[in-house]
Amino acid sequence: MDEDLRGNERISWHSRPIEEVYERLCTGPSGLSEDEAEKRLEQYGPNVLPAKKPPGVLILFLRQFKSPLIYILLIAAVISYLLQDVKDAAFILLVVMLNAAIGLVQEWKAEQSAHKLEKLLHITAQVHRAGHDRRVDATLLVPGDLVSLESGDRVPADLRLTHSAHLSVDESILTGESITVEKSLPVLPGSTPLPQRSNMVFGGTTVTSGRGAGVVTATGMQSEVGAIAEAVATTEAAKPPLIARMERFSLRIGLLVVGASVLMAAISLSRGAPLAEVFFLAVALAVSAIPEGLPVAITVALSIGASRMAERNVIIRRLAAVESLGSCTMIATDKTGTLTVNQQTVTRIILPTGSEFSVTGTGYSGSGSILSPESAPPGEEDLERIKKMARAAAICNEGSLYSEGDRWISSGDAMDVALLAYGYKAGIEPDRVRGDLQILHEIPYEPERRYQAVYFREDGQVRIAVKGAVETLIPYCVSSGGKEWDAPRDTATVEVLHRSLTRQGFRVLAVAEGTLPELPPEPLELEVVRPPLTLLGLAGFIDPLRPDVPDAVKRCRNAGIEVAMITGDHPDTALAIAKKLEIADDEGRVVTGTDLDSLGSSDIPEFLRKVDEGRVFARVSPLQKLQIVNAMIRNGHFVAVTGDGVNDAPALRRANIGVAMGSGSDVAKDTSSMIVTDDDFSSIVSGIEEGRFAYDNIRKVTYLLISTGFAEIILFTLALLFGLPLPLFAVQLLWLNLVTNGIQDVALAFEKGEPETMSRPPRRPDEGVFNRLMVRQTVLSGMVIGIIAFSTWFWLLHEGWDEALARSMLVLLMVLLENFHALNCRSEYRSLFSIPLRNNYLLIGGIVMAQAVQIAAMNIPFMQEVLQIGPVSLADWAVFLTLASLVLVVMEIFKWNMRRQGHPGSGRQDGDRPSAPGI
């Protein structure tokens, strides 16, 4: 027994007779005894998936220190402290702690929001033990328990069915299939794929109609849901692009800092400078080169992006995910519930006369109408035929659909509810149809029968209403639309119409009715009674697109982002949806799970090529979804994966950015980096837009800080080459970098997005934080600021100014240069004068505040002593203000020249792309 139970995940339970299932699980029709259940619970553990607790405050706090740039800052603080320069060390530690505090608050809020979700298997179950029924917590179920199911139940574990009465289960959360699965008891071949195991039900799925019972074959991690959870746990998450870029950038900045400091120190020592002075020079250079305010500014920019995304129904769980979504080059999306509404809808009606009509309105709602191809209402005769078909479909129906005010309430099988919605649109009242009739006998739908029938008495006659597969009902039809049936010709016509609908991705049902002299003796199956039926029409069902999805996909296309559909649905249905969205235009872009299986290993070049060519992946398993996403990443894409089901979790985990739907499974939400609360694909596109805005702002802040830091290096280098004293002390550099410039760079992070953002192609995966254009702008602006500052320093000393007073004036000039340059950084390519002030009033206020703080520090004795600065006259301030404005003039000329050369847009045109990865 123990060996069987421990190995139950290797047993194909669907291929075993019930008697063998009982024997292997050491159970029977009376169920387990309570003692045996307790022993198995102790042995195999509770029926739960591992619950990942929200990280604590300490963990979230320490997570903020992973950036290499933070490490460089901490090293600089240690060096400053060892040199007994406590002020410098304190300034650096202050900015590091501020960065950590901002990130901690943002991620704590997101984690707490995301983890207020109920766990998937935390439900109750009706179990049969020792011959008695009782309801227990589903966590207490063990292999061998007998469980009863009814409509609306969440299946608590994997079960091999022992009883099924019209049992239908929604397995979309596990398989991606939008159609409910009809369950039955016959033994199946061992090779039957999971979506077709009709004698099994799986934990986490939902019973939509009927009743059933089964024996528990697997719980917790041994279940199908558990297997996916294990795959998630062992799947390595892709590194967010911002983290990868900043790591490369920080490493190179660190090497440049070390190299520049060593070189300058060597030059100073060669000239006979004292060792202590050389150390202070090295520290000053390090402080000037390291963008101390960058971690805070990046965190602020990402936090602003996260807040703006929340307003557009996207919850961010990791700050780096803000930029990651904006960086993606491929969105691999689930179909059911993401692109579609996950509600079957009758959208096409074909009458036996050949007349075809479209049905408007989507989902489980009676709102809509029926129109001809010319968008006109049907004629009187056709309308009567349409109503007759709708009435028969309402009679042969086990669903329920009715309105309560503005809300439509539904229950039952998706196809039944869709037919009732069609009835309302046809002008009948489906919820009252059966109430006026005497129901004599019902034959429920079974997969083996492929039809449903209802015998009823009306006006003294026995009548029958039938719906089912076209090929099943046609042989019983003897008339059509009020005329005699010409079997060879009319059957061929119906088959042509049927194929036409299926090629368009529709699921098709035929509706028929007939009259009998009297109720025949049982059995009343059609193959026995062979009633003379009249074909009333064909109904084409489809899970319709969400209304705003086509526009959202178009926006992705305009932004250079490719969209691929990954679904467990039928290839024809998936292709039909893809054609409407212009994701794919022919079968050559469709790849099935069978196609991938035939290739063998997912590591071979042919597999990567197949994935690269495909845009619709149908009938794929959860493992294949993971392999597809992995192949996309290996093909050079930054991949965003969307999904809502348990089956999506491994792919969500592997993706550069996982996007879960708000109504989806907890497993998907726990695995993702962000959650779309309204299940709307267009919200994902809005998130991409906000992500691009956030990254653009990070670039602007980086541009400001690196260019001013570069200017300080130029200032020091020229001063050293000309044999002049140190222009600025380390504490003054920290004041400039962390306080005055720090106020501005944080304010710059609030800049609104530029309108052209979503018309640009995505950044190349190997493109660094700096591309060719930004390097040119940084070098030019840094040189202008550095040369202006050095020229002023040289002139002041040459004119005989006191060194301390000249240094004080230089600090003021550097602040003014930063003020003007912050305005340059509002756009990489647009003129400052074309950007409305309302796009960032905060930056204007930040510039004013930075200048006010500097003036205050120059006049407060304590700050004068700390910073070694003093007050200046209004006339001197005006002269330096005019001088500092030159940086604005030079950069405006540069941008004008760029636009004149044909770069009116992003600054990331082909000519601006680096031939090798950027910084």
Residues serving a catalytic function are 334
Contacts of 200 (CB under 8 A, 6+ apart): 13, 14, 158, 159, 160, 161, 214, 217
CA 734, CA 88: separation in Å to the nearest integer? 7
What's the full length of the chain, in residues? 919
CA 549, CA 680: separation in Å to the nearest integer? 8
Q: Closest Cα partner for 400 from 375, 374, 424? A: 424
Alpha-carbon distances of 427 from 288, 385, 395, rounded to whole Å: 77, 12, 15
Q: What is the 3-state secondary structure (H, E, C) of 538-587?
A: EEEEECCECCCHHHHHHHHHHCCCEEEEECCCCHHHHHHHHHHHCCCCCH
Q: What are the beta bridge partners of residue 540?
A: 348, 508
Spacing of C-alpha 648 from chain mean position: 11
Crossing angle of the two packed helices 803-824 and 841-859, in degrees rounded to 10 = 170
Residue with tokens 């932004």: 559
Three-state secondary-structure class, residue 878: helix
Joined together, the tokens standing for residue 395 give 């009679």
Q: What are phi and psi of 662, to 5 degrees?
A: -60, -30
CA 863, CA 152: separation in Å to the nearest integer? 71
Alpha-carbon distances of 565 from 28, 617, 623, 686, rounded to whole Å: 44, 6, 16, 19
Three-state secondary-structure class, residue 154: strand
Alpha-carbon distances of 839 from 87, 294, 320, 843, rounded to whole Å: 36, 22, 24, 9
Asked if 316 contacts 752 with a C-beta cutoff of 8 angstroms, the reply is: no
**What is residue 340's DSSP assignment?**
B
Helix (H) or strand (E) holding 661: strand 657-661
Q: Closest Cα partner for 93 from 103, 108, 80? A: 80
**DSSP letter string, 704-769:** HHHHHHHHHHHHHHHHHHTTPPPSS-HHHHHIIIIIIHHHHHHHHTTPPPPTTGGGSPPPPTT--S
Joined together, the tokens standing for residue 175 give 């398989």
Three-state secondary-structure class, residue 443: strand
CA 616, CA 585: separation in Å to the nearest integer? 10
CA 17, CA 536: separation in Å to the nearest integer? 41
Q: What is the 3-state secondary structure (H, E, C) of 241-269?
A: HHHHHHHHHHHHHHHHHHHHHHHHHHHHH
Amino acid identity of 266? A
Asked if 324 contacts 657 with a C-beta cutoff of 8 angstroms, the reply is: yes
Q: What are phi and psi of 413, to 5 degrees?
A: -60, 140
